[in-house]
Structure 1
């Protein structure tokens, strides 16, 4: 299943969510109306006035309940308007600083950065729940630009690097496939329908304590307990529907995310090993934080021992056997004994040159049914099957390994600059500086006027290293710097965006890599500043964006082709892919194509997901028309996919 089919699943989940939420609201309103009518609906009023009184009572009760539910839901969603970081901090997550020295946290950051580079997304904010000993994690946010990934301390203590990598890849699938926005909405709706239970406890137990023990207040105190108990019982309806909604929306998505993790890493051992350790460690994947039920639907594993009705994830052994069909439950005993014996212990740091951590003794191999040869033969087959069911537009294993190599080969001075806000600012400016010496004096004046001499000096110091940077490392470096850039004040970020455009706009013939960098960074910063304003699913169809698609394909064809003839062939292949059977006139690339390309990309972002799939397929046809995929084409495709909020498709060097 690819990204666009996954979007259809998200829309289906949204419809299920709306239907179940509506049923929950109806059930709660009916229950409250019945309870209030039973208690207050038969007063001393007689005659026609009784009917009027009862109708008004039910009307006011219904409106009051609806106001509480929707008011609480909107309040909760608004409280999470800052995106993923707000969700992580709400469950006591602690931000991991970019320049962290702790080896476990450094390994976590390295793994997340590698997956972000491979998937073509900015590095998310990284959080740890230091008090949670269970193995769990989640991704939250409205878009990739404001995403946060949060892991428990149990992940750091128990998992090897490969296992941690599998968990992080699982969470990135939620980032890429649009699950996060639905998750935040679900948090708000659950808060609304569960609010009456909280109100009931407060009203019944705290409210009644305000009355003394005098005979005059005895009736009021009893009434307080009765009302409180009634609202608690009614609140249990909301709790029931809340758990049911979580299970209905989350379970299938979690199974698909497991398959996506296999495609990221091209091996099942990592995520399967993490699931096995959840099965054997005493804490499992359980959480202790008070509001754990709010985030249960977005976690890597179950936060509570729910029964099968309310479980937000498939059974643990079922998840393991999808990845490793030969695995048997009794083999968990061998793993548990190995862990207790200290082999690989509860401190699963793996060897890695970049992580700078000592080697740890690995677990002895488990005995597979049929012997080692059978196991060796089955592993690749299972990996292929799992990958086939995963989103095909997610970066393949080759991209993942390449991302790690790209990150490790970056100059240490540039990586250090990407870690802190002010130096990341200077780095972004240095990356935008022209290779042409005659243009730099004017660019330097722009920087000095906008930020002062200190930032200009810091930028100059980085330019030398930046000029030797391969093209394939420029945008990954921006992805690494993004968490630090987000920490800058809003006004400084606006000045950065304006200055970058001015620097690049000095040269009428803007170099493509400079355009790509500025476009990507500007879009990331805009969405991070206002997470809830991130674009949602579009409504337009492909014929409505014909001119925009023609221009984008022309840019890809011209900059990817070796001559005019090859560019025309590539453009024609793309247009035939999008509009089969039609005739076309060659789209001449205008002199100042940059602002027109900006408008074209914004226009294409308003397409339906199925139409975006056609756009990506057309671009792939253009890129692969000459049988060679260049780094320029890859970077341009990365920018187009980011602008359309789609994952980067699989491309090989030789198509």
Structure 2
């Protein structure tokens, strides 16, 4: 299943989630209405009074559920890190010397670079000995990855990579947004049980002697019991919703992890360790009911409405010849000597330096096919992981250290955006001086000096590596960074398409991390309503990538015929050059998934009119795809 088909499935799943939630709320409201009427003896009252009581009971009950859901959802607006911290997660420091934590951070960075998404925050659940993990967030821009201490201690590098790749499939496919929305909805459904216990306690123990003497006329205990029963229905409905939403996605995520890493031993080995170790994947947190659907493994002993498929079935889907009896053999072996991930790494001789490859020369041209590029969106494979490892190796240690620190990452980003044209750079530095002072200018000039001659394949990854440090700043500081990025972009219109696209991508990701929504209205658009925006994008790319008017016009029309066949539109230079695309992104990002696939194919056709791409053109393509929320892995192979 490709990325765009998965996006369509996610939309259908969101609709099903809302439908199930509405049905559950209606059932709970009906139970509460009947129980309150019975507790108050209203069935013997006139029909008008009964109807009035039922109406207000339904309004108050439904309102309480909706407000509780809204309250919990708003509380999660801080992003995936909020979920991780609520479960006891501890942020992995950028300068950690712990070998397990460094291995975890390296694996997460490699998978993020290979996937074409910002590097997420990384957390460890220190008090959880079971093997488990989850990804949380509203979008890749505010995502967090969390793993348990058991996963760090027991999994070797291949197994850890398989688990992280599984979680990244949830990031890429939009499952995270459903997961975090489901937390809010379930809280509202479960809220009535909490209120019911309060009513029961108040009715049974509150009120002093008068209440005891008049207990027969006290309806609070009966109402409390009714609310607890309704809450139990909510628990039942919540588990049913979790199971219906989650189980099939776990099979898909397992398969995606294999597709990403090109080996089954990693994720299958992690699942076997869950089955063979006494701690399994269990968690001790009291919030299991809220988060069980978003975990890598089942958080509790198996139940009727399990959020995950049976462990043996998941392993058998990866290794068809697997015999569940093997888990008993492993359990006996590990009972005496539990596995150690680092020891297994040493025994296998795993070394990222040996796995990575060399980056291509800057003038290397790669043969591409538009449909093959579109098919690779959201589907990183082993060559992309090897490229990510090579990229991390190419960065000097001091640049990596600065990219991971909140006080130095901004100057690196500003240095990335600084134009190579002196007059443009002077305008940008003047804007930077006005906003942040002379010290920021000096730091940016120094950073630009370090980045001089930076391989084109390292520019976008460096921005990805800087992102967690930028996102960690308070909201007000992030707002200042957004303004600075805008100022650097608009200091002079004569910036390259790549510099413009990179600045807009950084701006959009920071905006989404701050406000949980893109910096434009989220609306659905058709190709017909986007004709002018499509033409503007293709015209900008054609003029930027081809030396003469004739070849630019030819490339433009090749791309136009691919996405808007039979709709001739002459190529005209946008009035404001590359800045004209600011008006295009809200329209293009609102295209349906299949239309986005066509647009990416058209973009590739324009950029590679001769059927090949330079390294710089590859990164421009990846940046454009990022603006469309279509993460494109590094292009490392020659599509056949």
Normalising by structure 1, we get a TM-score of: 0.88
Q: 1:102 aligns to what?
A: 98
Deviation for aligned residue 1:334: 3.8
| Deviations 1:410-429, CA, capped at 9 Å, x for gaps | 12121111111120111111
Tell me if the contact between 2:89 and 2:146 (Cα under 8 Å) persists in the aligned partners: yes
Q: 1:455 to 1:649 in 2, by over 3 A?
A: closer
Q: 1:348 to 1:11 in 2, by over 3 A?
A: farther
SS in 1 for 2:584: helix
1:117-128 → structure 2 map (5 Å cutoff): 117-128=113-124
Q: 2:632 aligns to what?
A: 648
Q: 1:223 to 1:518 in 2, by over 3 A?
A: same
1:153-232 → structure 2 map (5 Å cutoff): 153-205=149-201, 208-212=204-208, 216-217=212-213, 219=215, 223-232=219-228
| Deviations 1:364-410, CA, capped at 9 Å, x for gaps | xxxxxxxxxxxxxxxxxxxxxxxxxx986422321221011111211
Residue 89, structure 1, aligned to residue 85, structure 2 = yes
Tell me if the contact between 2:129 and 2:148 (Cα under 8 Å) persists in the aligned partners: yes
SS in 2 for 1:350: helix
From 448, 462, 484, the equivalent of 1:463 is: 448
Deviation for aligned residue 1:126: 1.3
Deviation for aligned residue 1:288: 0.9
Q: 1:566 to 1:348 in 2, by over 3 A?
A: farther
| Deviations 1:347-372, CA, capped at 9 Å, x for gaps | 5673555699xxxxxxxxxxxxxxxx
| Deviations 1:75-113, CA, capped at 9 Å, x for gaps | 111111112122222222222222222211111111111
Q: 1:586 to 1:536 in 2, by over 3 A?
A: closer
Tell me if the contact between 2:69 and 2:188 (Cα under 8 Å) persists in the aligned partners: yes
Distance 1:343 1:188 in 2: 38
Deviation for aligned residue 1:652: 4.6
Distance 1:245 1:203 in 2: 27
| Deviations 1:405-459, CA, capped at 9 Å, x for gaps | 1112112121111111120111111112222445544443333332223323322
Q: 1:497 to 1:12 in 2, by over 3 A?
A: closer
Q: 1:616 aligns to what?
A: 600
Residue 263, structure 1, aligned to residue 247, structure 2 = no
From 499, 510, 520, the equivalent of 1:525 is: 510
Gaps of 5+ in 2: 355-374
| Deviations 1:440-494, CA, capped at 9 Å, x for gaps | 4444333333222332332233222211311110111111111111223434333
Q: 1:137 to 1:40 in 2, by over 3 A?
A: same
Q: 1:311 aligns to what?
A: 306
Deviation for aligned residue 1:230: 2.7
| Deviations 1:120-152, CA, capped at 9 Å, x for gaps | 111111111111111111111111111111111
Q: 2:129 aligns to what?
A: 133
Q: 1:239 to 1:420 in 2, by over 3 A?
A: same
Tell me if the contact between 2:486 and 2:507 (Cα under 8 Å) persists in the aligned partners: no
Tell me if the contact between 1:81 and 1:531 (Cα under 8 Å) persists in the aligned partners: yes
Tell me if the contact between 2:419 and 2:495 (Cα under 8 Å) persists in the aligned partners: no
Residue 14, structure 1, aligned to residue 18, structure 2 = no
Residue 295, structure 1, aligned to residue 280, structure 2 = no
Distance 1:391 1:473 in 2: 20
From 57, 65, 74, the equivalent of 2:70 is: 74
CA RMSD of aligned residues (A): 2.7
Deviation for aligned residue 1:162: 1.0
Aligned length: 616
Gaps of 5+ in 1: 357-389
Tell me if the contact between 2:376 and 2:633 (Cα under 8 Å) persists in the aligned partners: no
Deviation for aligned residue 1:30: 1.5
SS in 1 for 2:594: helix
Q: 1:405 aligns to what?
A: 390
Q: 1:338 to 1:573 in 2, by over 3 A?
A: farther
Residue 432, structure 1, aligned to residue 413, structure 2 = no
